[in-house]
Amino acid sequence: MEKTIQVINQLKEEKLILDYAIGGAIASMFYIEVATTFDLDIFIKMNIEKGKLISLSPIYDWLKGKGYLFEKEHVMIEGIPVQFIPSYNELTEEALLNSKSTIYEDTNTKVIRPEYLVAIMIDTFRAKDKERALKFIEAQEINDKLLQTILVKYNLTEKYNNFKKLL
């Protein structure tokens, strides 16, 4: 995965993306033990005017020029299927902005903080997201005060409380 992150860092250096952070199940692995996952989710910030259609073509063209192959919504980068996810709402924008800088092996990267991961999981609320959110709660790997602040800000408190009732 280190080589994959190095390629993503190149995308940032070449200004094809303004910023990025690892999200999804791989981000969760930085904090808790999770089940295996199929791909690497990369939340990205691009230089796009509000209200304009987002095109990932510049990223895909650059990667294609480097010889990387595409499989459905993924790009195979150094053997890892990568899905680029433009920050699609204020929550994901804030999650990206407040992501944690870290080093994976010898390479700098950024990872979405656990409180934002849980908030995004509650927002999307797919079965696998509920399972991962539960693991974060059980592992007590989240700052509850920060999580509550995020949930209130993005009107997710009721959804979160209903989820916790099911536990």
DSSP state of 143: -
Mean pLDDT of 47-53: 74
State pTM to two decimals: 0.93
* pLDDT tens-place string over residues 119-154: 999 999 998 889 889 899 888 778 999 999 999 999
What is the residue range of 142's domain? Answer: 2-165
pLDDT of residue 166: 80
- Please give the full DSSP string across 102-167, using - where no structure is assigned: EEETTEEEEE--HHHHHHHHHHH--HHHHHHHHHHHHHT-S-HHHHHHHHHHTT-HHHHHHHHHT-
pLDDT of residue 35: 67
Mean pLDDT of 16-33: 93
Label residue 111 by pLDDT band (50, 70, 90).
very high
Instruction: Give the number of domains in the chain.
Output: 1
Residue 77: CATH number of its domain = 3.30.460.40
